[in-house]
Amino acid sequence: MRVIVVGAGVLGTMHAWQAVERGHDVLHIEREAEARGASVRNFGQIWVSGRAGGAELATALRARELWEEIGARVPGLGFRAIGSLTVVKNAAERAVAEAATRRPDAAARGYRLLDAEQAREINPALRGGFTGALWCERDAAVEPRIAQRALKEELLGSGRYRYLGGREVREVVGERAVRDDHGEIHHGDAVLLCTGAWLGGLVRELIPDLPVRRVRLQMMQTDPLGEPLTTSVADADSFRYYPAYRGDALDALQAGQAQTPTAAAHKMQLLMVQRADGGLTIGDTHEYEAPFAFDTVEEPYEHLTGVVESILGRPLPRIRRRWAGVYAQCTDTARVVHRQRARDGVWLVTGPGGRGMTCSPAIAETTANELGW
């Protein structure tokens, strides 16, 4: 087959990967020279720990297997099986972590409740004040700013992959063909639109009532820490935003322990990953109501700095970069992704939300299976 994939973010790239792996030829079209959206503006976390039980967790676990397999073939991804620690500071937060370890799928996630000393044995950089941590052994990380390019270089070596950057697809022409903004028409046996948060233009024309919304976030990255941060790190505010932690213990936490005003106003949690150069990627915020602000505001960064310093027990290195990003999320947040036939031979795959980096290999595998590749 000749497969046309539109969109070179992680979801589109993984669909191209699946097609090439199954012996097909791929034309990959991206409106920018390289991906510039949420796929490069995230933590690079393969985040199993907070996923909802059932289909979402199964997707994340399968994706985790695929990331490790692909990472062994493409070292440039920077795949690292580092696990994560979600630190807790009081009895109410610890109760949520403890409840998580009693889930029927806790072993599949690699959950274990640790005291502070055990957590520091795993991650000695955590010298601040906390009482324990929820360890998730299945979490991992890649380098988001370079992952798509590393995958592209591997795909180019297959001889069955062509990349066409700087071309925006404007129209689906008949069946299984698209026209780009240079006037060129590209024909294939299947067209996959993996356009991320680009939900206007062609996407709106094809599917006017698409059940997907856009979400904005703010993040930052520091200078090198000067020592290894051996795991991903989260704070207990993350319990409030991930479905794996729902239950009586979380209800009690939310009733008895409010977030700080800044964290509540910006719907914040701490997630932190060390990059290959030693810097820390730190975030994040969530904004759901469009139109989004065009600027970044300082209060969330100040809040995150304080939280990180309380966990590390040391000043944060100089902040080197700040940025905002926008991703696409299914309005029914229980759905892992929105996959819809827009026309015969043309499929739209979008809306994984904050699960995109984690789940994209398995989402692409499912698409390939459903399309009979």
pLDDT of residue 119: 98
Q: Are 358 and 60 in contact (CB under 8 A)?
A: yes
Cα–Cα distances in Å, from 319 out to 55, 216, 275?
38, 20, 14
Among residues 143, 144, 148, 126, the alpha carbon closest in space to that of 135 is found at: 126
Sequence-separated (6 or more) residues with CB below 8 Å from residue 189: 1, 2, 3, 176, 345
Q: How far apart are CA 368 and CA 4, in angstroms?
A: 13
Provide the residue type at 325 as one letter. G
Q: How far apart are CA 351 and CA 213, in angstroms?
A: 8
- Entry pTM: 0.96
- pLDDT tens digits for range 30-61: 999 999 999 999 999 999 999 999 999 999 99
pLDDT of residue 175: 83
In the chain the first and final C-alpha atoms are separated, in Å, by 8
Domains, the chain? 1-80+141-211+335-373 (3.50.50.60), 84-137+212-330 (3.30.9.10)
Mean pLDDT across 191-200: 95
Provide the residue type at 236 as one letter. A
- pLDDT tens digits for range 238-275: 999 999 999 999 999 999 999 999 999 999 999 999 99
pLDDT of residue 91: 97
Q: Are 347 and 57 in contact (CB under 8 A)?
A: no
- Phi, psi for 107 (deg, rounded to 5): -65, -35
- pLDDT tens digits for range 287-337: 999 899 899 999 999 999 999 999 999 999 999 999 999 999 999 988 999
Confidence of residue 174 (pLDDT cuts 50, 70, 90): confident
Q: How far apart are CA 40 and CA 315, in angstroms?
A: 27
Q: Are 270 and 281 in contact (CB under 8 A)?
A: no
Mean of the per-residue pLDDT values of the chain: 97
pLDDT of residue 125: 98
Confidence of residue 93 (pLDDT cuts 50, 70, 90): very high
Q: Is the pLDDT of residue 21 over 90?
A: yes
Mean pLDDT across 92-102: 98
